[in-house]
Structure 1
Amino acid sequence: MNSVLTALRVFEAVADSQPIGLSELARRLDVPKSTVQRCLKTLHEAGWVRPTSEEGRWSITGRAFTVGSAVAAGDHLRDAALPALSALQSAVGETIHLAVPDGDELVLVERLDSPHQLRAFLALGTRLPLHAAATGKAYLATLPDARIAAYLQSAPTKVTAHTRTDPVRLWNEINLARKRGYATTEEELHEGISAVAVALRDRTGVARACFSISGPSSRLTPELFEEYGSKALLTRDTIERVLR
């Protein structure tokens, strides 16, 4: 039983501070390095944690999606969000995606499809890179500067030819998202798709989820970003009032 509890503590510590190294985990948990290493090995073999591109550091994996979805349902996130998101989808006529944080990525947990034949589509469970997805940029804008800097130092990669990876440009976008309350992307996650997104925060200011309005770039043009951003912010306010 003690070994199980220790492994759970290690998993929670990784989730809380990822990416994180063995020495820091041992220090934070006040557990011998050898014990932490065994726990990491077991969690890795079970598919719950993975080594990152930074040598010797760990983060959690997508297996947390199932648990995260259960938590989202259990704390009424979907119940609170879906009525307002459905109203938003009807107003703009584009696909709405709802995603929750999972380390240095977001995981898609809900989708409201556009009635148009040509539309944005992401499968539930899709993992979204923070620097390439509008929801990811909206999430980044809620994080402390130190966590953003650490993420940008991990050398984000291009997902499409339009993905922005330059740290200076990404910082500018994050600061702009902080200023106006919403983030945007143009064909950075998928060719031909643009999006506008905002973050949903709890009463402490921590982002619990993000949602986006996504559609073909031929229809969701930059001229609509401000209008859709305003609609998304009003929807965010409605959902956050219910959540609180």
Structure 2
Amino acid sequence: MSVNSVTTALRVFEEVAAAQPAGLSDLARRLDTPKSTVQRCLKTLEAAGWVRAAPDDSGRWVITGKAFSIGSAVAAGADLRAVAMPILSELQAQTGETIHLALPDGDELVLIERLDSPHQLRAFLPLGTRLPLHAASNGKAYLASLPDNEIEEVLRRDLDRRTPRTITDPDALREEIAEIRARGYAITEQELHDGITAIAVALRLGRSGRTAASFSISGPSLRITPDLYEDYGRQALEAKTRIERFLGA
């Protein structure tokens, strides 16, 4: 798609949002654009989940909740960074390992912040990395916090094996989710990347109590050994409590 096409599609979306429910002829007139072009843009936006046909079957269009969801995530992310990063910096200093902070985006999480370990051998993921719910520690912590029906939707998908240790069996994942809920944090041992172990917790933000983020303590499996799991889990839960208190959970 060319830059002009993208610009036109965005203008169509903005007009639908301003005048919804908006008809094709009205949109073409407002935008001074051929109906065929507007129709193509509407179909593209519909396929991407940004607009949909009005429920009254009138041939008019309305926007979906996708823009609101993304806008809410951006606002939540800004508040979250301001509150969480000083607390997570303390956690990084206490553990000496890398801290990853992630936000949900569709069926995955997106890494938005990273506090690096001072060790030469350390866990490292680029910002913007997309994390699977079934294999990443952040993903599992988030997954375990969801309602059961949403968990089942995830478990019905084809779950890819990232390493030989990745758990893809739905029954085994259900058992693990129960364990995560019981102790409050997730543990992954070389499930997303060979040689890396991570411990993660989910963050519930605001009065709704909906999970809006998660963070992990990540490092080489040679250094984050089973005897440290409980201690690191406790420290992560303490940091979680402090962050949630400041954000009104």
Note closer, same or farther for the CA distance 1:149–1:237 as it changes in structure 2 (3 Å cut).
Answer: same
- In the alignment, which residue of structure 1 is the partner of 2:61? none
Q: 1:2 to 1:238 in 2, by over 3 A?
A: same
CA deviations 1:3-59 (Å, max 9, x no partner) are: 546579xxxxxxxxxxxxxxxxxxxxxxxxxxx9974623657x989xxxxxxxxxx
Whether 1:92 aligns to 2:95 is yes
Equivalent of residue 161 in structure 1, options 164, 178, 186? 164
Larger radius of gyration: 2
Equivalent residue for 2:136?
133
Equivalent residue, structure 1, for 2:212: 208
**Which runs of 5 or more residues in structure 2 are unaligned?**
1-10, 19-38, 52-64
1:224 correspondence with 2:228? yes
2:202 pairs with one of 188, 191, 199: 199
Structure 1 segments of 4+ aligned residues over 2 angstroms from their partners: 1-8, 36-45, 66-74
**d(CA) in 2 for partners of 1:88 and 1:194?**
16
Q: Distance in 1 between matches of 2:17 and 2:159?
A: 30
Q: Distance in 1 between matches of 2:17 and 2:172?
A: 39
Identical aligned residues as a percent: 55
When the two structures are aligned, how many residues end up with a matched partner? 204
Q: Aligned partners of 1:201, 1:123: CA distance in 2, in Å?
A: 24
Aligned to 2:107: 104
Distance in 1 between the 2:17 and 2:127 partners?
28
Q: CA deviation at 1:217?
A: 0.3
Cα distance, 1:107–1:3 mapped onto 2, change above 3 Å: closer
For structure 1, the 5+ residue unaligned runs are: 9-35, 50-59
SS of 2:145's equivalent? Answer: coil
Shift of 1:109: 0.1
For each residue in 1:143-191, what CA deviation from the matched residue of structure 2 results, as whole angstroms up to 9, or x when unmatched?
Answer: 1111111111012110111110000111111111111100010000110
Residue 235 of structure 2 aligns to a residue whose secondary structure is helix
Letter in 2 for 1:229: G
Residue pair 1:141, 1:174 contacting (<8 A) in 2 also: yes
Q: Does the aligned pair in 1 maintain the 2:101–2:216 contact within 8 Å? A: yes
Q: Secondary structure at 1:147's aligned position in 2?
A: helix
Shift of 1:127: 0.1
